Amino acid sequence: MHRCFYSCVLGSVLAAQTPAPLSVLLVGGENNHDFEWTTPELKTVLVETGRFRVDITNTPEKDLAAADLGQRYRAIVLNYNGQRWGEAAEQSFLAAVRAGTGVTVVHAADNAFPGWTDYEAMVGLCWRDGTGHGSYHPFDVFVIDANHPITQGMADMRKHPDELYHRLVPMKGANYKVLLAAFSDKQVGGTGRFEPMATVARYGEGRIFHTPLGHTWTGQLPTRATFYDPQLRRFLARGTEWAATGGVTLDPAPINFLSDEELAQGFTLLFDGRTMTGWRGYKKDFVPVLGWSVRDAAICHTVGGGGGDLVTNEEYGDFDLRFQWRIAKGGNSGIIWHVIESEQETYMTGPEYQVFDDLSKPPDQKQQGAGALYDLVPPANPPLRAADEWNDGRIVVQKGRVQHWLNGVQVVDAPCHGPEWDKMIAASKFHEWPQFGKSTAGRIALQDHGDEVAYRTIRVSRL
């Protein structure tokens, strides 16, 4: 029953330019779960995609009563389980949804407001008498309807850590469709049957996306793993985009996550989306505090921030490196490989996959543009996306040859060892450094060229 629909080489088809961010209101302020952590984390889940602009309210009784609620926000995300909001806020909320504002209902928000029939009909399946859950544990979540915009192209969730709600109660007047389900195992306190894990519905013109996934308990830090799961993060973002627009533009592949195919091929992640684990500064035993940081699930360098190049803790010989990169307008950076820490700079020993904004600032030479084997081989018709758009890159080094890929297209295929390689080096500026391109193994480096650049979904397989 486990499926994987997205390609293991991300972005083989060029994406359209990112549309304008969608305005979303995230409702917190009261919950029997750790809303003080999950509310800002939910904002991060949405903002890191680049698709949303998110405001938070912890006073929904006041802010939901705004007369222009429906004009200001395309969707309202509910991370709330507490007291009723009052007549003014509730009627304003219902009017906005009836007129087309979407709603995302997360985890314990389906526990809220017993007896408020409009809300119950909107959510569809609620926690009421007889509902429960087993112990917190990892479980698979299966796509039941693969044709809905939210789930189209999406893989089943693998070993997602969470609470698995069982026996949610269908509410009077509810008309919903189930998108995901998970098996509630009796061995962990479940029902021994499949339970719905996501539904969609309509309330007037408004689209309703509901998932009982998303448990994080106050004072139990291990349960934050629920929201650290890239699979849930991407699903919540896609569901909210659908609630807001009726369509989904976000890639179904989770950020900073390995597909089943990549796992089978021996890939490992070089970045977990939250920390710099596995990286350090060049010729340093720490990550520079200047310049580099983790932001929006990416390793980012700030323009003029300094810090120098980052390198992997481990060395690689023949390898397949896949990654996503985004460069600011007019920016310049690169990924340098087979780096040996014997010289002053990484580029004095390692060849470079050029990261560059050709579209805003044409390179001085063809072999210095995006996807090039820098100063050695120009890229063949590189299908580059605009500045500040994510590109998919790939470097394959094997048996004395190197291939560069950009957005699913091979743009370089050249020797990286032997007489022809030596001749190429002699005709380039790298002839000044006798150790350049000599090693058959070394570290992988992210270059600090002084410009704003970001990298994510970095994974490598040794060949």
| CATH number where 171 lies | 3.40.50.880
The residue type at 198: A
pLDDT reading at 209 higher than 60: yes
Summarize the confidence of residues 289-297 as an average pLDDT: 94
**Do 280 and 239 reside in the same domain of the chain?**
no
15-29, 168-182, 236-250, 338-352: the lowest-pLDDT one: 15-29
**Do 280 and 334 reside in the same domain of the chain?**
yes
Confidence tier at 10 by pLDDT (50, 70, 90):
very low
pLDDT reading at 41 higher than 50: yes
Distances (CA, A) of 133 to 31, 130, 164, 192: 17, 10, 6, 12
| 147 belongs to a structural domain | yes
Structure tokens at 420: 């022809």
Determine contact, residues 173/186, Cβ cutoff 8 Å.
no
**Do 270 and 236 reside in the same domain of the chain?**
no
Confidence tier at 364 by pLDDT (50, 70, 90):
confident
| 329 belongs to a structural domain | yes
pLDDT reading at 16 higher than 80: no
| 210 belongs to a structural domain | yes
Summarize the confidence of residues 135-157 as an average pLDDT: 98
pLDDT recorded at residue 91: 98
First to last CA, the chain: 30
Summarize the confidence of residues 124-146 as an average pLDDT: 98
**Do 366 and 341 reside in the same domain of the chain?**
yes
pLDDT reading at 1 higher than 80: no
pLDDT recorded at residue 289: 85
pLDDT recorded at residue 218: 96
Confidence tier at 17 by pLDDT (50, 70, 90):
low
Structure tokens at 53: 């602009």
pLDDT reading at 88 higher than 80: yes
pLDDT reading at 374 higher than 50: yes
| 334 belongs to a structural domain | yes
Summarize the confidence of residues 70-95 as an average pLDDT: 98
pLDDT reading at 55 higher than 70: yes
Could you tell me which residues come within 8 angstroms of residue 404 by beta carbon, excluding any fewer than 6 positions away? 353, 371, 372, 373, 379, 393, 394, 395, 410, 411, 412
**Do 161 and 236 reside in the same domain of the chain?**
yes
**Do 191 and 296 reside in the same domain of the chain?**
no
Could you tell me which residues come within 8 angstroms of residue 118 by beta carbon, excluding any fewer than 6 positions away? 94, 203
Structural domain harbouring 171: 22-245
Summarize the confidence of residues 182-196 as an average pLDDT: 98
pLDDT reading at 387 higher than 60: yes
Summarize the confidence of residues 396-421 as an average pLDDT: 98
| 365 belongs to a structural domain | yes
The CATH code of the domain that includes 370 is 2.60.120.560
Determine contact, residues 74/207, Cβ cutoff 8 Å.
no
pLDDT reading at 346 higher than 50: yes
pLDDT recorded at residue 5: 35
| 44 belongs to a structural domain | yes
Q: Of 272, 203, 264, 207, give the one whose Cα is nearest residue 240.
A: 207
d(C-alpha 405, C-alpha 335), whole Å: 13
pLDDT reading at 159 higher than 90: yes
Extended strands (E) in 37-129: 52-57, 75-78, 102-106, 125-126
Q: How many domains does the chain have?
A: 2
Structure tokens at 47: 């903002």
Is 0.85 topped by the overall pTM?
yes
What is the pLDDT of the chain when averaged over all its residues? 95
179, 211, 245 - which closes a domain = 245
| 9 belongs to a structural domain | no
Percent of the chain with pLDDT over 70: 96
199, 218, 245 - which closes a domain = 245
pLDDT recorded at residue 19: 82
Summarize the confidence of residues 247-274 as an average pLDDT: 97
The overall longest dimension of the chain from CA atoms, in Å, is 80
**Do 191 and 289 reside in the same domain of the chain?**
no
| 48 belongs to a structural domain | yes
d(C-alpha 362, C-alpha 360), whole Å: 6
